[in-house]
Amino acid sequence: EAGVAQSPRYKIIEKRQSVAFWCNPISGHATLYWYQQILGQGPKLLIQFQNNGVVDDSQLPKDRFSAERLKGVDSTLKIQPAKLEDSAVYLCASSQETGASNQPQHFGDGTRLSIL
């Protein structure tokens, strides 16, 4: 099966600019996740969708980050305006689970964001 697709692979912007990342999950996967991974750390969950509804966005800095999953398939994550501390890899993952949380999460290779 095709994996989780993310684009772009790399992005360089200046601080205070805006940026958007796109994710196409594995076909049929109900749950979609966005993670932020700062260099040298493990990934941190930003937001979790089930179909097109938000399950958990407690770690999302809502003053500058937004995410949507229209039609319950593709998703976009936006940062506006970007800060230097947002430099990180943004990972998208998907899983089949719609109930108990034991289905594996399948990750894309991420978008590496550099803020100048």
Partner 1 sequence: DAKTTQPNSMESNEEEPVHLPCNHSTISGTDYIHWYRQLPSQGPEYVIHGLTSNVNNRMASLAIAEDRKSSTLILHRATLRDAAVYYCILRDGYNQGGKLIFGQGTELSVKP
Residues that bind partner 1 (CB under 8 A): 4, 41-45, 48, 50, 55-56, 91, 93, 97-102, 104-110
In terms of Cα–Cα distance, which of 106, 64, 114, 57 is closest to 90? Answer: 114
Task: Quickly list DSSP for the chain.
Answer: ----EEE-SEEEE-TT--EEEEEE--TT--EEEEEEE-TTS--EEEEEEETTEEEE-TTS-TTTEEEE-GGGS-EEEEESS--GGG-EEEEEEEE--SSSS-SPPEE---EEEEE-
Q: Give 65 or 90: the residue with its C-beta nearer to partner 1.
A: 90
Nearest approach, Cβ of 11 to partner 1 (angstroms)? 15
Q: Give 27 or 102: the residue with its C-beta nearer to partner 1.
A: 102
Q: Give 35 or 65: the residue with its C-beta nearer to partner 1.
A: 35
Nearest approach, Cβ of 81 to partner 1 (angstroms)? 26
| The amino acid at 37 | Q
Q: Give 81 or 89: the residue with its C-beta nearer to partner 1.
A: 89
Nearest approach, Cβ of 69 to partner 1 (angstroms)? 15
Nearest approach, Cβ of 5 to partner 1 (angstroms)? 11
